[in-house]
């Protein structure tokens, strides 16, 4: 049986509050990029459904959604975007935010993704990130970001469970970017790292 066609992908990676979603939304407005936030997919799900109840229960406590459910929901979302022609894999470079979130998912996503670059948004000041997330919760009415205890638990979970994901990838594809720089400077650094990948993707699919 022939192997499945995998999506060429750039990962936005880093702890909560570093600006992955903000930068991803900017990239989404540039032709040739398609941004997909797993967190946004989770928040958009019908919380009255069986899957939605499980997702809401996890994120409301600051926990990670179970691997099997994460992949199920993510794959369903991707297939829908492709069917609607919002995401055109031959034309668009996938910018993925929020997965893989643990070392087990690193192996699982290999079936679906060819990861060419990891944009690692770093931050040395956790307190600043906590304040950023709380401000975002007010602006965007995100209940999962409103409780400081839950926010701090998410950081602990990131350090323990998600940060080790980086160790599973070749350091040569990891681009470290200081998220404390201005948003424009962060964007410029991200584009410098991703444009060569996007150009290669475009050439190979002409």
pLDDT tens per residue across span 28-44: 999 999 999 998 888 88
Is residue 174 assigned to a domain?
yes
SS3 label, residue 114: strand
**Average pLDDT value for the chain:** 86
Who wins on pLDDT, 96 or 149?
96
What distance in Å separates the CA atoms of residue 121 and residue 114, rounded to the nearest whole number?
20
Domain of 82, in residue numbers? 7-204
Is residue 187 assigned to a domain?
yes
Q: Which pTM value belongs to this model?
A: 0.85
Domain tally, the chain:
1
Domain with residue 184: its CATH number is 3.40.50.300
SS3 label, residue 174: strand
pLDDT tens per residue across span 47-103: 888 888 888 888 878 788 888 999 999 999 999 999 999 999 999 999 999 899 999
Which residues lie closer than 8 Å to 44 by C-beta, 6 or more apart? none
Identify which of 51, 62, 70, 52 has the alpha carbon closest to the alpha carbon of residue 143: 62
pLDDT over 70 at 136, yes or no: no
Mean pLDDT of the region 103-129: 88
Cα–Cα distances (Å) from 64 to 39, 115, 190, in that order, read: 10, 22, 26
CA angle at residue 185 from 184 to 190, to 5 degrees?
95
pLDDT over 90 at 127, yes or no: no
Is residue 190 assigned to a domain?
yes
Identify which of 204, 192, 198, 206 has the alpha carbon closest to the alpha carbon of residue 9: 198
Is residue 2 assigned to a domain?
no
What distance in Å separates the CA atoms of residue 166 and residue 4, rounded to the nearest whole number?
25
pLDDT over 50 at 3, yes or no: no
At 153, the pLDDT band (50, 70, 90 cuts) reads: confident
Other Cβ atoms within 10 Å of 129 Cβ, number: 22
The answer to whether the CB of 18 falls within 8 A of the CB of 122 is: yes
Considering the chain, what percentage of its residues have pLDDT values greater than 70?
88
At 117, the pLDDT band (50, 70, 90 cuts) reads: very high
Structure tokens at 72: 């199920």
Mean pLDDT of the region 22-33: 92
């Amino acid at each position: 049986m022939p192997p499945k066609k995998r999506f060429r992908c750039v990962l936005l990676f880093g702890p909560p509050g570093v600006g992955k979603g903000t930068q991803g939304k900017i990239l989404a407005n540039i032709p040739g990029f398609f941004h997909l936030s797993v967190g946004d997919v989770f928040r958009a799900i019908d919380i009255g459904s069986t899957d939605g109840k499980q997702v809401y229960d996890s994120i409301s406590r600051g926990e990670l959604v179970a691997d099997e459910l994460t992949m199920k929901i993510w794959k369903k979302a991707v297939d829908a975007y492709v069917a609607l022609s919002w995401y055109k894999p031959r034309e668009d470079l996938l910018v993925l935010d929020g997965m893989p979130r643990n070392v087990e998912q690193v192996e699982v996503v290999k079936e679906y993704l060819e990861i060419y670059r990891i944009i690692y948004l770093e931050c040395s000041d956790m307190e600043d990130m906590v304040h950023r997330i709380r401000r975002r919760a007010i602006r965007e009415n995100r209940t999962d970001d409103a409780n400081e205890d839950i926010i701090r638990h998410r950081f602990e979970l990131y350090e323990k469970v998600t940060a080790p994901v980086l160790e599973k990838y070749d350091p040569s594809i990891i681009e470290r970017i200081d998220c404390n720089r201005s948003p424009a400077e962060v964007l410029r650094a991200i584009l410098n790292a991703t444009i060569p990948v996007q150009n290669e993707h475009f050439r190979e699919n002409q």
